[in-house]
Chain A
Amino acid sequence: MTRRQMLARSAAVFAGGVLLKEVGEAQGAPPPPSAGNQRPGADAINRHLPVHTPNVENLPWKIVDGVKVFHLIAEPVRHELAPGLRVDGWGYNGRVHGPTIEAVEGDRVRIYVTNRLPEPTSVHWHGILLPNGMDGVAGLNQRPIPPGETYRYEFTLRQHGTHMYHPHFDEMTQMAMGMMGLFIIHPRDSRAYRVDQDFALLLSEWKIQVGTSRPDPGEMVDFNILTMNGRAFPGTEPLLVRQGEKVRIRLVNLSAMSHHPIHLHGYKFLVTATDGGKIPPSAQWPETTVLVPVGSSRDIEFNADEPGDWALHCHMTHHLMNQMGHDIPNMIGMDPSGLDEKIQRFLPGYMTMGHTGMGGMGTMGMPVPRNSIPMLGGEGPFGHIDMAGMFTIVKVHPTRPAPDDWYEHPPGTVAEPAPEQDLRRDGIKTG
């Protein structure tokens, strides 16, 4: 053992001691070693508001000698990206993406990583300040974890913020296959930066050719499934808020190639943090759309004072499609008269599509290749929502809504066909 390693060890023991003391104070009694899906709720381990990652679970942990112990298992996973589309991806602990790791500033964490993949892997703790040998870049900081082996990562959390984990061995493939997760570190002082709802959304993109079930890691440009927490609308779970709550949404982008301008309807918000840490209040910038670059996180916060069902989505329109095909002729504006009858003589299933636009394609119910969702939007209270992909809904209701509740609009507050007398009164000529 070198002198440096000895020093590092003693530092770890020291840090662990501090953590143990803190945890002991916070939790009163240690949790059973085989704790299930625990969240460090305000009334349990500490008083921090747990982060809610829609569609994703939090990684269970246990305290062993004052160290918070996690176990990540990298393995092939069959995963539903949205109803009608299942993929054979890679993930952690049976999930795509991996479960959210939640901890507190100052925690000593020990994370075992078991590799059940057909190739080596490693885990990089993105944005987390830690010893170089724990940083997870295979070849640079450690040997890759061979299939079948378990490596141990251990470090003390010296910061708080919105971070992530992902492989750094063959990352192009492994991230394209779905391997990534969130690593949320709460501030030591649970009273600081309080919000009432703390959401986290991990953005990513996929190439899954229509009719296949295997993500294509070779894709560089033409991604056709855009997800929040590994789900594409209408598979995304809405963000449920009671009117008047202060809301934080942590946006994290681990897409292969795309930055995402995430737009929230109904509010302006402040960007309060990046993966580098909190932004001083004086520097926080009001926005309605925040660009989340690849490999970055942005926390936004707002007061949910305006009730309604508000869209939250990437503003790149092609990121609001599921499995859109891009290699078909542009049909818009074509005169289709007589064409269907002509072609149906030898192709009975033919119908001209796209000549008037593509709205409502999801409602036609035409047979499509198996395991594909090329036309799917979702159903809303006013009919079909023609968006898909990186889209979800923030439901702000006077009382805390259930996932399938729709906002009930006060009379006269919904856009409706213009009455004839109004048109006349205001001198609007429509003919």
Chain B
Amino acid sequence: MKVIFLWMLVPILGLMTGCAFLPRDAGIGEVATLVEERTGEPLYWPGVSLDEEVLALRVQELLEQPLSAVGATRLALLNNPSLHAQLEDLGIARADLVRAGLLRNPVLSATVLFPEGGGRTQLEFSLVQEFLHVVQLPLKRRVATKNFEQVKLRTADAALTLAAETREAFYQAQGSLWLREIHGLIEEVAEAAADVAERLHRAGNITDLALAREMERYQQARLAHMQARTRQALDQEKLAVLLGVTQSESLRIAPRLPALPPAEIDEIDLEERALAQRLDLAVMRLEREVRAEALRGTRFSAMQPDLGLGAEVERESDGTWLAGPKVRMNLPIFDAGGSAVAAQQGWWRQALRQEAALEAQIRSDVRQAWLALQQARAEVEHYRQILLPLHDQILEESQLHYNAMQLGVFDLLEAKQRQLEIGSRHVNARRDYWLAHSRLTWVVGGLLPEPVSPEIDEDLEGLFGTEEVPATEPEMVPDSHQEHDH
């Protein structure tokens, strides 16, 4: 009997040692590397890879400066509570992986039988270890390892998605901040026109109708400014949630969308880069591998899901002990396992197709995002090089014609207002460029191959009269890591 037990323990102990391959940090190091390679920003697991207090200090530091897109991304990766929640998946997956490495516990069953009319009780003991589990343990462990890899990739992908959403929300908020400023100026111009109209009306020079028309224009401008203020507050609110900032009004955002990078992004290799970098695709590939592994063990496990080996010890009522091996197995009369195999094959092929579909989708997404980026760049350049200078000239000439008393004060103010309106459309175009840029970054699955972008272009500041532009952090420095914490 002892011999049998020992014989059974050998493989069990052998398999138990499998825990040694598990990463000590539950893979956060790998995840952080994946994220940093793709965003240029570090990722920490609060309380695990970074002390909570240190983290709070870094958050505080970032919030003290007016935020740029880079700062916002860094802040979101540091501070977004949903991402923190997702990081816990790593711990859970690690535990799952440990569990997958363990043998299922053997089942002990005991029976006591009382003979009719008294006498010694009859005892039966059996110990059964599920055999299938023992046989498939290496397979299961391989699957579990891949699953753990998937969790790491998914976690990193979640961080990338958060970074993309943050960038997008940031550019929206930055754009609406600028637009709010322009609409404030438009209101100021319209208010001046209304003021002139009131003065002229008091002097007896214009009709009630003309006054009402000027008032209507002013009130329209006020409404637009009001809308721009609300839009800005909402955009800031959305950004604050992503940044994990609870006091959204305390956020300070650099007030100008950055200028465009001087060079266009080369379309060549972008698709290949995306296929290599996209983590959701990597997850999909692993899924296909998992399915392939699963398919290997299916036929046997489908036929004998309950195969168990063990030993049984029995004391007869006469006191004699009996002992012997025990087998438990299915008789494949009704279910020979063919359907389970078919299902597994289906899943495997499905994973294969899904991977192909995702690849095609990624390629197309990259091309679409690149086209959108080109279009956005063309629009911004059209505003910057053609429309804005034209409106500057129109305003300048309008001033001359006003001086020459060929245009009245209302015409002059209207020219200023139209210049500001074109300015606001330019801001929209510039915001769309950065949204497209962010989108392309996301669909390519990592940083774009482009040179460092310049600072804000000065020639646009003329639009805003006396408004001061606060200094901003350097914007989007993909290839420079020196300022990051490692």
A353 proximal to B (CB < 8 A): yes
From the candidates B188, B206, B406, name the one contacting A345 in the complex (CB within 8 A).
B188
Contact check, B205 vs A210: say whether CB atoms are below 8 A apart. no
B408 to chain A: which residues have CB within 8 Å? 327-329
A374 to chain B: which residues have CB within 8 Å? 404-406
From the candidates A329, A339, A361, A369, name the one contacting B410 in the complex (CB within 8 A).
A329
Q: Mark B13-40, 1 if CB is under 8 A from A, else 0.
A: 0000000000000000000000000000
A345 vs B464: C-alpha distance when bound (angstroms): 10
- Which of the candidate stretches B195-203, B298-306, B337-345 sits at the interface with the other chain? B195-203
B189 to chain A: which residues have CB within 8 Å? 346
- Which of the candidate stretches A14-22, A267-275, A330-338 sits at the interface with the other chain? A330-338
Contact check, B412 vs A331: say whether CB atoms are below 8 A apart. no
- Which of the candidate stretches B48-56, B96-104, B394-402, B440-448 sits at the interface with the other chain? B394-402
A345 vs B399: C-alpha distance when bound (angstroms): 14
A375 proximal to B (CB < 8 A): yes
Known: A210-B406, A325-B406, A361-B405. A350 touches B196 (CB 8 A): no
A311 to chain B: which residues have CB within 8 Å? none
Contact check, B205 vs A332: say whether CB atoms are below 8 A apart. yes
A121 proximal to B (CB < 8 A): no
A381 proximal to B (CB < 8 A): no
A323 to chain B: which residues have CB within 8 Å? 404, 406
Smallest CB-CB separation from B407: which chain A residue? Answer: A328
Contact check, A345 vs B413: say whether CB atoms are below 8 A apart. no
Contact check, A352 vs B409: say whether CB atoms are below 8 A apart. yes
A354 to chain B: which residues have CB within 8 Å? 405
B350 to chain A: which residues have CB within 8 Å? none
B416 proximal to A (CB < 8 A): yes
Q: How far is the CB of B201 from chain A (nearest CB, A)?
A: 9
Contact check, A342 vs B406: say whether CB atoms are below 8 A apart. no
Q: What interface size band does chain B fall in? A: 20 to 34
Q: How far is the CB of B206 from chain A (nearest CB, A)?
A: 7
Interface residues of A in 318-368 (CB under 8 A from B): 323-325, 327-336, 339, 342-343, 345-347, 349-350, 352-354, 358, 361, 366-368
B395 to chain A: which residues have CB within 8 Å? 347
Contact check, B465 vs A328: say whether CB atoms are below 8 A apart. no
Smallest CB-CB separation from A374: which chain B residue? Answer: B404
From the candidates A342, A353, A369, name the one contacting B397 in the complex (CB within 8 A).
A369
B260 proximal to A (CB < 8 A): no
Contact check, B399 vs A349: say whether CB atoms are below 8 A apart. yes
From the candidates B202, B204, B405, name the one contacting A325 in the complex (CB within 8 A).
B405
Smallest CB-CB separation from B406: which chain A residue? Answer: A325
B403 proximal to A (CB < 8 A): yes
Interface residues of B in 310-363 (CB under 8 A from A): none
B205 to chain A: which residues have CB within 8 Å? 329-334
B202 to chain A: which residues have CB within 8 Å? 334-335
Contact check, A339 vs B403: say whether CB atoms are below 8 A apart. no
Contact check, B200 vs A329: say whether CB atoms are below 8 A apart. yes
A372 vs B401: C-alpha distance when bound (angstroms): 10
Contact check, A324 vs B405: say whether CB atoms are below 8 A apart. yes
A36 proximal to B (CB < 8 A): no
A324 to chain B: which residues have CB within 8 Å? 405
Contact check, B409 vs A329: say whether CB atoms are below 8 A apart. yes
Give the interface centre of B199, B397, B400, B404 by most chain A CB atoms within 10 Å: B404
A211 proximal to B (CB < 8 A): yes
B105 to chain A: which residues have CB within 8 Å? none
Contact check, A328 vs B199: say whether CB atoms are below 8 A apart. no
Q: How far is the CB of A193 from chain B (nearest CB, A)?
A: 46
Smallest CB-CB separation from A324: which chain B residue? Answer: B405
A332 to chain B: which residues have CB within 8 Å? 203, 205
Q: Mark B192-221, 1 if CB is under 8 A from A, else 0.
A: 100110011011111000000000000000
Interface residues of B in 260-293 (CB under 8 A from A): none
Contact check, B409 vs A346: say whether CB atoms are below 8 A apart. no
B77 proximal to A (CB < 8 A): no
A342 to chain B: which residues have CB within 8 Å? 192, 195
A211 vs B402: C-alpha distance when bound (angstroms): 12
B416 to chain A: which residues have CB within 8 Å? 346-347
A354 vs B199: C-alpha distance when bound (angstroms): 13
A332 vs B206: C-alpha distance when bound (angstroms): 11
Contact check, B400 vs A334: say whether CB atoms are below 8 A apart. no
B466 proximal to A (CB < 8 A): yes
Give the interface centre of B189, B200, B465 by most chain A CB atoms within 10 Å: B200
A209 vs B435: C-alpha distance when bound (angstroms): 46
From the candidates A331, A347, A368, name the one contacting B200 in the complex (CB within 8 A).
A331
A336 to chain B: which residues have CB within 8 Å? 199
Smallest CB-CB separation from B403: which chain A residue? Answer: A366
A300 vs B246: C-alpha distance when bound (angstroms): 92
Smallest CB-CB separation from B399: which chain A residue? Answer: A349
What is the interface of chain A mostly: helix, strand, loop, or mixed? loop
Contact check, B399 vs A350: say whether CB atoms are below 8 A apart. yes
Interface residues of B in 381-405 (CB under 8 A from A): 395, 397, 399-405
A92 vs B403: C-alpha distance when bound (angstroms): 35
Contact check, A211 vs B200: say whether CB atoms are below 8 A apart. no
Contact check, A334 vs B407: say whether CB atoms are below 8 A apart. no
Known: A329-B206, A345-B188, A347-B399. A339 touches B406 (CB 8 A): no
Contact check, B403 vs A368: say whether CB atoms are below 8 A apart. yes
B200 to chain A: which residues have CB within 8 Å? 329-331, 334
From the candidates B188, B195, B400, B413, name the one contacting A367 in the complex (CB within 8 A).
B400
Q: How far is the CB of A317 from chain B (nearest CB, A)?
A: 15
From the candidates A333, A346, A367, name the one contacting B203 in the complex (CB within 8 A).
A333
A369 vs B413: C-alpha distance when bound (angstroms): 18
A330 vs B407: C-alpha distance when bound (angstroms): 12
A361 to chain B: which residues have CB within 8 Å? 405
B72 proximal to A (CB < 8 A): no
Smallest CB-CB separation from A338: which chain B residue? Answer: B195
A353 to chain B: which residues have CB within 8 Å? 403, 405
A358 to chain B: which residues have CB within 8 Å? 405
Q: How far is the CB of B415 from chain A (nearest CB, A)?
A: 9
B185 proximal to A (CB < 8 A): yes
A403 vs B206: C-alpha distance when bound (angstroms): 46
Known: A329-B205, A335-B199, A349-B399. A343 touches B192 (CB 8 A): yes
Contact check, A350 vs B404: say whether CB atoms are below 8 A apart. no
A415 vs B416: C-alpha distance when bound (angstroms): 47
Smallest CB-CB separation from B199: which chain A residue? Answer: A334
Interface residues of A in 189-226 (CB under 8 A from B): 210-211
Smallest CB-CB separation from B189: which chain A residue? Answer: A346
A335 vs B195: C-alpha distance when bound (angstroms): 11
Smallest CB-CB separation from B186: which chain A residue? Answer: A346
A329 to chain B: which residues have CB within 8 Å? 200, 205-206, 408-410
Smallest CB-CB separation from B197: which chain A residue? Answer: A329
From the candidates B199, B401, B413, name the one contacting A211 in the complex (CB within 8 A).
B401
A90 vs B189: C-alpha distance when bound (angstroms): 44
Q: How far is the CB of A257 from chain B (nearest CB, A)?
A: 21
A345 to chain B: which residues have CB within 8 Å? 188, 465-466
Contact check, B404 vs A325: say whether CB atoms are below 8 A apart. yes
Contact check, B409 vs A331: say whether CB atoms are below 8 A apart. yes
Contact check, A367 vs B407: say whether CB atoms are below 8 A apart. no
Contact check, A346 vs B403: say whether CB atoms are below 8 A apart. no
B413 to chain A: which residues have CB within 8 Å? 343, 347
Contact check, A369 vs B400: say whether CB atoms are below 8 A apart. yes
Listed in ascending order, the chain B residues whose CB lies under 8 Å from chain A are 185, 188-189, 192, 195-196, 199-200, 202-206, 395, 397, 399-413, 416, 465-466
Task: Enumerate 20 A-B pairs (CB-CB under 8 Å) in ascending A order.
Answer: A327-B408, A328-B408, A328-B409, A330-B205, A335-B203, A339-B199, A342-B192, A343-B192, A343-B413, A345-B466, A346-B188, A350-B402, A350-B412, A367-B400, A368-B400, A368-B401, A369-B400, A374-B404, A374-B405, A375-B404
Listed in ascending order, the chain A residues whose CB lies under 8 Å from chain B are 210-211, 323-325, 327-336, 339, 342-343, 345-347, 349-350, 352-354, 358, 361, 366-369, 372, 374-375
* Interface contacts beyond A334-B200, A346-B465: sample of 20 additional A-B pairs, CB < 8 Å, sorted by A: A210-B404, A211-B397, A323-B404, A325-B401, A325-B405, A327-B406, A328-B405, A330-B206, A332-B205, A333-B205, A339-B195, A339-B199, A346-B185, A347-B399, A350-B409, A358-B405, A367-B399, A369-B401, A374-B404, A374-B405
